[in-house]
A = this chain, B = another copy of it.
Amino acid sequence: MSRRKTQITSDIAWSTRDSIVVRGLSLPDEILGHFNLGDMAFLELTGRRPTPQESIVFNAIVITLVEHGITPSAIAARMTYLGAPESLQGAVAAGLCGLGTRFVGTMEGASKMLYEALPRSAVGTGVDLDALARETVARMRADKIMIPGLGHPVHKPEDPRTPRLFQIAAENGLSGDYIALMRHIGRHAEAASGKSLPINATGAIGAICCEFGFPWEVVRGFGVMARAIGLVGHIMEEREKPFAFETWQRLEEEALAAHGLTRE
């Protein structure tokens, strides 16, 4: 007996002879010239046009994720470009492969933690956020789970992106229970650990994504799309002011010397 086929379908976009439609809007007529790239990403992912306020906040959070200087991801992209300069897309792909649990993952972790503590249906019902934060911190510490979105190895005493992102969210009507809860969690985590644990950019973005109501699973996607832009920037710089070759040579020489050898 034969398997029942299911329908192949996609609601994102389609083209015919004379039309190109993305999320129900005509690309030439309703999108080009009217949207900026952040709005287009919002449309692509949510299926609707952002409000002017959402546009400002969403562009800000994605922009924050574009460029973090010399990261492992940028180094991987540059090393890949050294071997395959004809394949810029492969170098970007290599850089993206490292956007996993260690770096970009904390952002989705923050969103997930906030949603688990405060489901969307409970927003605005007068839940005691301070008590909720205290419980969340206590439970995570008991389970020895690191609280995502807090602390930073370099930015001290605070991450300069966080107050600015929260300000932009507040000015545009997107500062509600989730940002408040994240702040309470930060405060309780500091009290419990005795360490300074400022909310970092991934924590701020994770909280703002909850204000938008984005599912936590999509949050990593924002980091991935934004970093693709940054990686193209690094590859362009590598073309003119390379450091991949020099890095490779140094590593190989040092490793050889560790075995008492030289190449010559």
* Contact B79–A98 (Cβ < 8 Å): yes
Q: Which of B89, B220, B222, B262 contacts A96 (CB 8 A)?
A: B89
A19 contact set on B, CB distance < 8 A:
160
In the complex with contacts A75-B247, A76-B76, A161-B8 CB distance below 8 A: no
* Contact B263–A235 (Cβ < 8 Å): no
Tell me if A234 is interfacial: C-beta within 8 Å of chain B. yes
Tell me if A132 is interfacial: C-beta within 8 Å of chain B. no
In the complex with contacts A92-B96, A99-B89, A232-B45, A68-B13 CB distance below 8 A: yes
A90 contact set on B, CB distance < 8 A:
84, 87, 89-90, 93, 96-98, 100
Count the copies. Answer: 4
A235-259 residues with Cβ-Cβ distance < 8 A to B are 235-237, 239, 241, 243-256, 258-259
Interface of A is mostly: helix
Chain B min CB distance to A229 (Å): 5
A120 contact set on B, CB distance < 8 A:
none
* Contact A220–B88 (Cβ < 8 Å): yes
In the complex with contacts A28-B161, A161-B27, A261-B16 CB distance below 8 A: yes
Query: In chain B, what residue has the closest Cβ to A155?
Result: B17
* Contact B83–A56 (Cβ < 8 Å): no
* Contact B98–A63 (Cβ < 8 Å): no
* Contact B63–A11 (Cβ < 8 Å): no
Q: Which of B12, B99, B160, B233 contacts A69 (CB 8 A)?
A: B12
Tell me if A147 is interfacial: C-beta within 8 Å of chain B. no
Bound complex: CA of A73 vs CA of B248, how far in Å?
10
A27 contact set on B, CB distance < 8 A:
63-64, 160-161
Mark each residue of chain A from 64 to 87: 1 if its CB lies under 8 Å from any CB of chain B, else 0: 101111111101110111111111
Q: Which of B83, B237, B247 contacts A247 (CB 8 A)?
A: B247
The stretch from A32-40, A121-129, A177-185, A188-196 touching chain B is A32-40
Tell me if A118 is interfacial: C-beta within 8 Å of chain B. no
Tell me if A119 is interfacial: C-beta within 8 Å of chain B. no
Tell me if A44 is interfacial: C-beta within 8 Å of chain B. yes
Q: Which of B5, B20, B102, B228 contacts A83 (CB 8 A)?
A: B102
Max chain B C-beta neighbours (<10 A), residue from A11, A80, A87 = A80
Extra inter-chain contacts (15) besides given A22-B66, A33-B56, A75-B75, CB under 8 Å: A3-B253, A5-B250, A6-B246, A8-B254, A11-B237, A15-B263, A17-B154, A17-B155, A17-B263, A32-B165, A37-B63, A44-B230, A75-B247, A84-B98, A93-B93
